[in-house]
Structure 1
Amino acid sequence: MRIAVLSGKGGTGKTLVSVNLAAVAGKAAYVDCDVEEPNGHLFLKPEQVETREVTVKIPVVEDSLCTACRICTEFCRFNALALVREKLLIFEEICHSCGGCTLLCPQKALWEKDKVIGKVEAGSSGEVRVLSGIMNTGEESGVPVIKALLRALPELDREGDVFIDCPPGSACTVMESIQDADFCVLVAEPTRFGAQNLSMVHELVEVFHKPHGVVLNKVLEGEEDPSEEYCKSKGVKILGRIPFDRHLGNLNAGGRVVSREEEAYRTLFEGLLQGIRKEVRHEAAAGA
């Protein structure tokens, strides 16, 4: 079972939920796809970490062979190639590594080199296999790093349930992160801003036809909750509620896995996981 955990913005509690679901699942895997600012490893503190570089292909020109025919510059829709005074310039920062320019060059003046854009780290925290993607500072897109992470999913499926900690928002990196998910958990705060951001990721999972439900975080008893009202208006299943709790917040801020610290929090996340598994079984039965 592959569970993707999303939120419309940072700080909502997405990592809190995904880390603790992995911790209570027994044998499981946690995959941190928030490659611009991964932080799940700060909580799970994996040991025996192995690192592998992530590279993309970037074109290189052999000036002596280039005839300034402009075929490559006219082909590139990202303007990563430009001809200035009959000299071909390559802008690596905006190249999308499609390889089209090297295939089309009639003089074979273009070839490709590997460019390191980030890395993948893999280790273990108790029974949880931990994978984190880390994009190098200044890179334009984290999608290749996320793809490198997700290539490990078939192997991780043998570890048990897989919990994918997605980037915040609803951009391309989030779309890449959820494409192989069996179920999406949307984490939302009980504010009008939280409800607006919930609507963004809800629209995204609807477009991808992903079964989903919502976890309401930082809930204040008796207070208005616009995110809950949004769920009711759209018929979205509320999987669980995490109360506003200063003690939980202090543990979380200290980099602790709260479900490993106190029984009450373990019970909370075990109940949430049971609810998610029930929804997944229900969706599977409905699609059979």
Structure 2
Amino acid sequence: MATREATLAILSGKGGTGKTLLAVNLASVAQKSTYIDCDVEEPNGNLYFKPKNSETLQVTVKKPVVDENLCNGCHACVDFCAFNALALIGKRLMIFEEICHSCGGCMLVCPQKALSEANKEVGTIKIGNSGPVKTLGGTMNIGESSGVPIIRQLLGSETKGTTFIDCPPGSSCLVMESIKDADFCLLVAEPTTFGVHNLAMVYELVTLLGKKHAVVLNKCMEGENPAETFCQEKGILIAGRIPFDKKLGILHSQAMIAAREDGNFKRLFSSILETIGGELGNETVAIAQR
């Protein structure tokens, strides 16, 4: 049976757990890879990769526009809209773009054909390269209500090698959109009681969606680790342990990719990727020579 390169999603129950740390380092130790930053509200992956030859593309969605000369205030579109994005003031139709879901249904039900569509920019995506890694990242415009269109365009872009998706934090619809086509989900957890709460949240999500998954324990120290205990109780594979290491913290805080700077860290993240590769069936991951 033929094999193909895998798509791995890295997620966590909150920000600051180490999701981007893991994603950028795994992408760096892969032989050939694509890194996609789907945290469109606070993207930061490009701070580490510093991509060259970047290309910026607009992301647009369709929004309704009314021709007031044709609209007779019949109320059909207002009755149809499940999101209350349309309202009639007297006989004047008001359109609230912020809550419009761009379904296009209002145009279909308008008997006067008074509604059409226009493009509205909701964000941008940047495409570049950092050594053997292709980088993609999206940024949502301030004031927009949803980054889903940006994530869809990011995930629909051409990729190379193993794809690593740096998901938004939490378990919102943005996260669901980011992981829906992933072959494997890596959950990042901190060694605290609060960390277990956040781990349980994303664990519930990936099990609900039927995704293959494993956990990477970050900031590991000697002594009790509640997140490790949770994994043992639930029978979750622990794909690796990242130590609470001063040098690693310094490199990461200076926007440097640890696996590119230190052989020990390269071996650490390569071993995590090897473990994931062993869990995948017909999908593969290729690791650069250590």
Q: Same fold (TM over 0.5)?
A: yes
Q: Distance in 2 between matches of 1:209 and 1:194?
A: 22
Contact 1:211 1:283 survives alignment (8 Å): no
Could you tell me which residue of structure 1 aligns to residue 13 of structure 2? 8
Q: Distance in 2 between matches of 1:228 and 1:217?
A: 10
Could you tell me which residue of structure 2 aligns to residue 181 of structure 1? 182
Could you tell me which residue of structure 1 aligns to residue 34 of structure 2? 29
- Deviation track 1:177-203 (CA, whole Å, cap 9, x = no partner) reads 001100000000011111000001000
Shift of 1:27: 1.1
Shift of 1:101: 0.3
TM-aligned CA distance change 1:266 to 1:272, over 3 Å = same
Structure 1 runs, 4 residues or longer, greater than 4 Å off = none
- Deviation track 1:110-136 (CA, whole Å, cap 9, x = no partner) reads 111000000111000000000001111
TM-score of the aligned structures, taking structure 2 as reference length? 0.94
Give the superposed CA RMSD. Answer: 1.1
Q: Distance in 2 between matches of 1:80 and 1:97?
A: 10
Shift of 1:226: 1.2
Which one of the candidate residues 85, 88, 97 is aligned to 1:80? Answer: 85
Shift of 1:138: 1.0
Q: Distance in 1 between matches of 2:229 and 2:154?
A: 35
2:241 equivalent to 1:275: no
Could you tell me which residue of structure 2 aligns to residue 167 of structure 1? 168
Shift of 1:281: 3.1
Within a 5 Å distance, the mapping from 1:230-249 to structure 2 comes to 230-249=230-249
Could you tell me which residue of structure 1 aligns to residue 3 of structure 2? none
- Deviation track 1:206-234 (CA, whole Å, cap 9, x = no partner) reads 11100000000001112x21111111111
2:116 equivalent to 1:111: yes
Q: How many residues of Structure 1 are paired with residues of Structure 2 in the alignment?
A: 279
Shift of 1:282: 8.6
- Deviation track 1:145-176 (CA, whole Å, cap 9, x = no partner) reads 00000111xx31xx211000000000000000
Q: Distance in 2 between matches of 1:209 and 1:256?
A: 34
Shift of 1:38: 0.6
Could you tell me which residue of structure 1 aligns to residue 52 of structure 2? 47
Q: Distance in 2 between matches of 1:246 and 1:40?
A: 21
TM-aligned CA distance change 1:256 to 1:283, over 3 Å = closer
Q: Aligned to 1:163, what secondary structure does the other structure show?
A: strand
AA in 2 matched with 1:28: S
- Deviation track 1:6-64 (CA, whole Å, cap 9, x = no partner) reads 00000000000010000000211100000001100000111000011000000011111
AA in 1 matched with 2:57: R
Could you tell me which residue of structure 1 aligns to residue 287 of structure 2? none
Q: Aligned to 2:280, what secondary structure does the other structure show?
A: helix
Q: Aligned to 1:57, what secondary structure does the other structure show?
A: strand
Unaligned runs of 5+ in 2: 1-5, 285-290
Unaligned runs of 5+ in 1: none
Within a 5 Å distance, the mapping from 1:142-153 to structure 2 comes to 142-152=147-157
Greater percentage in helix: 1
2:70 equivalent to 1:65: yes
Percent of residue pairs bearing the same amino acid type? 58
TM-score of the aligned structures, taking structure 1 as reference length? 0.95
Contact 1:184 1:213 survives alignment (8 Å): yes
